[in-house]
Chain A
């Protein structure tokens, strides 16, 4: 699986949009971009994933650049409960393959 690069930490004001970037310049054509988050002392939680089109669900939006070398996870209205470590992972979708967790971005939502 391709490696990803994320900022170590970010702050966001409560109620504002949180934009979390991820670089994955070596991504292959059959690899998807997945986002998970881990709230302190809990298991990771799936957020969203995409291949090349932008995606949106009830939790977030995922914007993938046209060359697919980077993406941005957007939490439209951050709340204190969104404080967590966010992991950007690229992997092929099919098959029994594990998720490789890098260091992620620690997002702190500030009141």
Chain B
């Protein structure tokens, strides 16, 4: 199968601090990873597309200086929420894409619940 992990699964931080979330593809190499955010009772919203070795592409309205994404290897992408505020509290989910040619090439992590107090 294809397994994607996220760490931590949940985190509580104080307003103004930074939090790093890791997304790992455990048994395959992912040249592309996606970061989504989900607020309560809402659907997933794409935040950014992360490509290994290059800068991430952010969706409109997502501040790139606030949500730092690093995709330094084919199995790891990180999302750092800088100077977190209570409105950043959300469920953050990553997905990793297998190389082209496989039928369902995106696999999702279990998500990270961030609470900013």
Instruction: Judge whether A45 is part of the interface by a CB distance below 8 angstroms.
Output: yes
User: What's the interface size class on A, roughly?
Assistant: 20 to 34
Shortest distance between the CB of A104 and any CB in chain B (Å) = 6
CB distance from B80 to the nearest CB of A (A): 20
Judge whether A44 is part of the interface by a CB distance below 8 angstroms.
yes
Name the A residues within 8 Å of B108 (CB-CB): 43-45
Nearest neighbor of B35 in chain A, beta-carbon distance: A98
Contact (Cβ within 8 A) A42 B43 = no
Overall SS of chain A's interface: loop
Chain A CB within 10 Å — which of B32, B93, B108, B111 has the most?
Answer: B108
Main secondary structure of the interface of B (DSSP, over half): strand
A41-B91, A104-B43 as given contacts; A93 in contact with B103, CB under 8 Å:
yes
Sorting the interface of chain B by its residue count into under 10, 10 to 19, 20 to 34 or 35 or more gives 20 to 34
**Residues 74-111 of A contacting B (Cβ, < 8 Å):** 87, 93-96, 98-104
Point out the residues of chain A lying under 8 angstroms from B106, CB to CB. Answer: 46, 99
Nearest neighbor of B51 in chain A, beta-carbon distance: A96
By a CB distance below 8 angstroms, the chain A residues around B68 are none
CB distance from A60 to the nearest CB of B (A): 13
A87 vs B44: C-alpha distance in the bound complex, in angstroms? 10
CA of A38 to CA of B95, assembled, Å: 13
B97 in contact (CB, < 8 A): yes
**B44 contacts A101, C-beta separation under 8 Å:** yes
B62 to chain A, nearest CB (A): 13
Q: How far is the CB of A54 from chain B (nearest CB, A)?
A: 15
Contact with A along B73-117 (1 / 0, CB 8 A): 000000000000000000101010100100110111111010000
The 8 closest A-B pairs by CB, nearest first: A43-B108, A96-B32, A101-B44, A101-B43, A46-B104, A44-B108, A98-B46, A43-B111
Knowing that A95-B100, A99-B34, A101-B44 are A-B contacts, what are 8 other residue pairs whose CB atoms are under 8 Å apart, sorted by A's residue number? A42-B110, A42-B111, A43-B108, A46-B107, A96-B31, A98-B49, A98-B95, A101-B45
User: 26 pairs across A/B with beta carbons < 8 Å?
Assistant: A34-B104, A38-B44, A41-B91, A41-B113, A42-B110, A42-B111, A43-B109, A44-B44, A44-B108, A45-B108, A46-B107, A49-B104, A87-B43, A96-B32, A96-B51, A96-B97, A98-B46, A98-B49, A98-B95, A99-B34, A99-B106, A100-B46, A101-B36, A101-B44, A102-B43, A103-B43
